[in-house]
Amino acid sequence: MSEQQDVAAARPPDARRAFRGPASACLVLEAIAVPLVLPVMSYVEGGITPAKLTLVLVLTVGMIVGCVVILRPWGLAFAVGLQVLMLLGFVLSASLGLMGLVFCLVWVLMLWMRREVIRRQAAWPVD
């Protein structure tokens, strides 16, 4: 066996590290979906105000940045903060708030699954 395989075999699986991939993928999907709310704002809500446009741009850039910083120890808090900001979008736009609600539910489900994997992993017998 090579040295890399020995290190990989010695290190137990870590649910916290494994969560980074799905979290980053979800942020990419959000970065694509958030700007798509602009046509809905334009036609359904009677126009795009500077505040709505700014919020959409901040969220989009934040989601892209979140894909990178999810690797940091504080990255998960950053991503959850973006979800809260998106949910608060109800104040300016019902369509953005509704999209925020959907993605918040996705994040709640992902965080629940992560917690459940960590809990079950802690119960594994140590060899």
Q: What is the pLDDT of residue 19?
A: 85
The pLDDT > 70 percentage for the chain reads 87
Residue 124 falls inside a structural domain = no
Q: What is the pLDDT of residue 9?
A: 60
Total of domains in the chain = 1
In whole angstroms, what is the distance from residue 49 CA to residue 41 CA? Answer: 9
Residue 2 falls inside a structural domain = no
The residue ranking higher by pLDDT, 6 or 91, is: 91
Dihedral pair phi/psi, residue 74, rounded to 5°: -95, 5
Kindly report the pTM of this predicted structure.
0.82
Q: What is the pLDDT of residue 7?
A: 56
Q: What is the pLDDT of residue 8?
A: 54
**Is residue 105's pLDDT more than 80?**
yes
Judge whether 53 and 38 are in contact, CB under 8 Å: yes
Chain mean pLDDT for the chain = 88
Q: Which domain holds residue 40?
A: 19-118
Residue 46 falls inside a structural domain = yes
List, for residues 37-78, the tens digit of each pLDDT value: 999 999 988 889 999 999 999 999 999 999 999 989 899 999
Residue 1 falls inside a structural domain = no
Residue 35 falls inside a structural domain = yes
Residue 8 falls inside a structural domain = no
The residue ranking higher by pLDDT, 4 or 101, is: 101
In whole angstroms, what is the distance from residue 28 CA to residue 114 CA? Answer: 19
Sign of CA dihedral 3, 122, 78, 31: positive
Residue 73 falls inside a structural domain = yes
